[in-house]
Amino acid sequence: MTQSISGQRCAEPEPGPGAGGGPVVVIGAGPYGLSVAAHLRAAGVPVQVFGDVMGSWRHAMATGMFLKSTPAATDLSAPVPGGRLADFCREMGEPELTELTPIPCETFVRYGMWFTQRYVGAVDPACVMAVERAGAGFVIRLTDGEGIRAAAVVVATGLATLAHIPDDLRALAPGGPGPQAALSHTSQHTDLSRYTGQRVAVVGGGQSALESAALLNEAGADVEVLVRASRVRWGERPQLRWQWTQRLAAPPSPLGSGWVLAAVCRSPGAVRGLPAAARMHLFRRALGPSGGWWLRERVEGVVPVRTACHIEQARLTGGGVQLRLAGTGGPAELVVDHVLAATGYRLDVDALGFLPGPVRQAVARVPGTQAPRLSGVLESSVPGVYFTGSLAAPTFGPMLRFVAGTGFSARRITKHLTARTGHHHPPV
Ligand SMILES: Cc1cc2nc3c(=O)[nH]c(=O)nc-3n(C[C@H](O)[C@H](O)[C@H](O)COP(=O)(O)OP(=O)(O)OC[C@H]3O[C@@H](n4cnc5c(N)ncnc54)[C@H](O)[C@@H]3O)c2cc1C
């Protein structure tokens, strides 16, 4: 799919009355960047958005994937009513999505494009290479070397550049992981059918691992999933109607049912106020790896899954990749052609190459992590630099890892920036 929305770049925007002059620059055009840009624009704050519209959903996910979240938890945040996924489907004349309809990634991408046209406007597809401090504001350097001034910066770059591969596996790809090497990360694939007829070990026990395994199997690969946990966890099939007794016992929320999830979704701001230990517990434990309910029948009893096992040694041999496994099932050896690491992402400010060393060093971290420590309005310790999306999850809880958190963060950032830049007109 080609980028249908691109923007006029204003190299020297009118200085705003805000702290450093220039517009607010949003880096990233995924659900979080688009939502905050929509709110800023509606509030009359000059805003310029850089990134590939719904880029991660087009270039970092395999064809045939579905969203794990339910339709009600998958709305981007529009400043006025009418911008929900259901509104998009209605306007396109597409069937209504119920809680029992897995959403194809392709539908979500089209929704994001539609949302952009309606609420955001021009998006510049340029990649931001550097965010330099300049007086009270910033200069944003783009791929072509051009620099534009910004009063403030919202980092909404999602999980790009944060892919995590355990060190033990890295040796399998001396030239770097990738689809053509013996080792790759799930984020490096759009088409898993390239492994048809090959032996593939998928490492991980979450949705990415399990859905990749299903797709590989359906494409005719010889696949085995290696899971560290003692069992694979599956999501519960949602209910279309909840009885009040069920609601009381386990209230539904955008992230699933239960009191803890309902509380963290209702009030991400309160999560920030929790004692650090409780917040870290939430960050590490809430919503551990699991597969979507609708995926279960494509994996269980269909694809070999080895649980309670870890890779003790991985090495390249003439005949492929030799994996020495250890675990409760005893030692074992597996020889495959390719290892697909579905090993998640590491929230690390130092992996954001567009933030120069001095800026990164000035960004205070959430203790025990490399994620930015954020104020209640998602501003980092560098005044004027805001973080939204997954990088904000260690501060505000698990909702910020999902599309469901876009409204909370877009509203908070917009309120603060409206006051800061002195721009405001009533939402249109
Ligand atoms: C496999 C997978 C499945 C998922 N499924 C779900 C799901 O079902 N439901 C759910 O709610 N969440 C899901 N998530 C989480 C998902 O990542 C987020 O919910 C959502 O995409 C986050 O949006 P975002 O805007 O923060 O980041 P992204 O969607 O990743 O967007 C990042 C944007 O930043 C841009 N960008 C990056 N670097 C630069 C740069 N230097 N300069 C300019 N632009 C840049 C990209 O082009 C892109 O536009 C899933 C994640 C993964 C990895």
Task: Give the number of the atom of ligand 1 that is nearest the alpha carbon of residue 66.
Answer: 8
- Residue 74 CA: nearest ligand 1 atom is 11
The answer to whether 214 touches 203, Cβ cutoff 8 Å, is no
CA distances from 171 to 57, 174, 387 (A): 28, 6, 33
Distance 391 CA to ligand 1 centre (A): 11
Output the CA 390–ligand 1 centroid distance in Å.
9
Residue 129 alpha carbon, nearest atom of ligand 1:
41
Tens-digit pLDDT profile for the chain (428 aa)? 333 343 445 444 444 444 557 899 999 999 999 999 999 999 999 999 999 999 999 988 888 899 988 888 999 999 999 999 999 999 999 988 888 889 999 999 999 999 999 999 999 999 999 999 998 899 999 988 889 999 999 999 999 899 999 998 998 998 999 999 999 999 999 999 999 999 999 999 999 999 999 999 999 999 999 999 999 999 888 776 667 777 777 777 777 777 878 888 888 988 899 888 888 887 777 778 889 999 999 999 999 999 999 999 999 998 899 999 998 777 789 999 999 999 999 999 999 999 999 999 999 999 989 999 999 999 999 999 999 999 999 999 999 999 999 999 999 999 999 988 776 655 44
Residue of the CA atom closest to atom 41 of ligand 1: 128
Pocket probe for ligand 1: among 68, 111, 157, 401, the residue whose CB has the most ligand atoms within 8 Å is 157
**How many C-beta neighbours within 10 Å does residue 126 have?**
19
For residue 396 the two structure tokens come to 């505000």
Ligand 1, atom 16, lies closest to the CA of: 402
Collapsed DSSP state (helix, strand, coil) of residue 101: coil
d(CA 47, CA 24): 5
Strand 199-203 vs strand 338-341: parallel, antiparallel, or unpaired? parallel
Among 402, 406, 408, residue to substitute to test ligand 1 (most atoms within 8 Å of Cβ): 402
Ligand 1 center–CA 330 separation, angstroms: 38
Q: Domains for the chain: give ranges and CATH numbers.
A: 24-161+345-421 (3.50.50.60), 167-233+290-341 (3.50.50.60)
DSSP string, 180-193: TSSEEEGGG-S-GG
Q: Write the residue with the smallest CA distance to atom 26 of ligand 1.
A: 158
With beta carbons less than 8 A apart as the criterion, state whether 321 and 345 touch.
no
Asked if residue 105 lies in contact with residue 190, where contact means CB atoms within 8 angstroms, the answer is: no
- What is the Å distance from ligand 1's center to 126 Cα? 17
Which protein residues touch ligand 1 with a CB less than 6 Å away? 27-33, 50-52, 55-56, 61, 67-69, 74, 127-128, 156-160, 208, 354, 389, 402-404
Instruction: Name the residue of 34, 403, 408 to mutate for ligand 1: max ligand atoms within 8 A of Cβ.
Output: 403
For the CA of 292, the nearest atom of ligand 1: 8
8 A C-beta contact, residue 3 and residue 125: yes
Can you count the helices (H) and strands (E) in the chain? Answer: 14, 17
Q: How far is residue 170 from each of residues 173, 182, 329, 338, measured CA to CA in Å? A: 6, 10, 25, 13
Helices (H), 286-325: 296-299
Q: Locate the ligand 1 atom nearest the alpha carbon of residue 53 and give its number.
A: 49
Read off the DSSP letter of residue 219: T
- Which residue CA neighbors atom 10 of ligand 1 most closely? 402
Nearest CA to ligand 1 atom 33: 28
State in Å: Cα 314 to ligand 1 middle: 30
How many angstroms does the Cα of residue 230 sit away from the middle of ligand 1? 29
